[in-house]
């Protein structure tokens, strides 16, 4: 049997409604809508809220946990970075790799590049990352005999 969905919302219905009207950010509006619908009793279960908001029940559960722990300000704090901003292979090492690829002997395969990165710089980089970096970022090609 699943856990009962209990969420005590401290804000008033009117305050939530007013903030919902003023909010421009779609993701924040969605979370405010979640609180508002639960407050007025339109949706009382995670399943109902998930269906109305076109979100998973898991997301609704996470939002409710965040609200319980941090309140409304914590729920509306969207500190999403947008993915990994730092490259897996540092820029200095990319330049060394580009110089090595420019030499006549170069590398015979992307696996060889992977091994070189491990041996010389102690970097364990996935094959797909090596391929993408060499082909698209460095715009280089392997020396195939």
Per-residue pLDDT, 87: 80
- What is the reported pLDDT for 21? 92
Per-residue model confidence as pLDDT tens digits over 69-98: 999 999 998 876 666 667 889 999 999 999
pTM (predicted TM-score): 0.55
Residues 133 and 89: beta-carbon distance below 8 Å: yes
Q: How far apart are CA 86 and CA 90, in angstroms?
A: 8
- Would you state the pLDDT for residue 104? 85
Whether 127 contacts 110, CB under 8 Å? yes
pLDDT of residue 106: 85
- Report the distance separating Cα 54 and Cα 37, nearest Å: 14
């Amino acid at each position: 049997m699943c856990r009962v969905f209990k969420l005590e919302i401290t804000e008033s219905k009117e305050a939530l409604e007013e903030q919902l009207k003023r909010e421009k950010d779609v993701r924040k509006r969605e979370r405010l809508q979640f609180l508002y619908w639960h407050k007025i009793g339109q949706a009382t279960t995670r399943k109902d809220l998930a269906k109305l908001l076109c979100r998973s029940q898991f997301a609704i559960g996470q939002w409710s946990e965040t609200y319980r722990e941090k309140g409304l300000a914590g729920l509306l704090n969207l500190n999403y970075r947008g993915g990994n901003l730092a490259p897996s292979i540092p820029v200095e090492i990319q330049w060394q790799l580009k110089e090595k690829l420019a030499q006549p002997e170069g590398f015979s395969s992307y696996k060889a590049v992977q091994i070189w990165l491990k041996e010389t710089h102690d970097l364990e980089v996935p094959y797909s990352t090596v391929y993408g970096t060499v082909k698209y970022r460095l715009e280089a090609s392997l020396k195939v005999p």
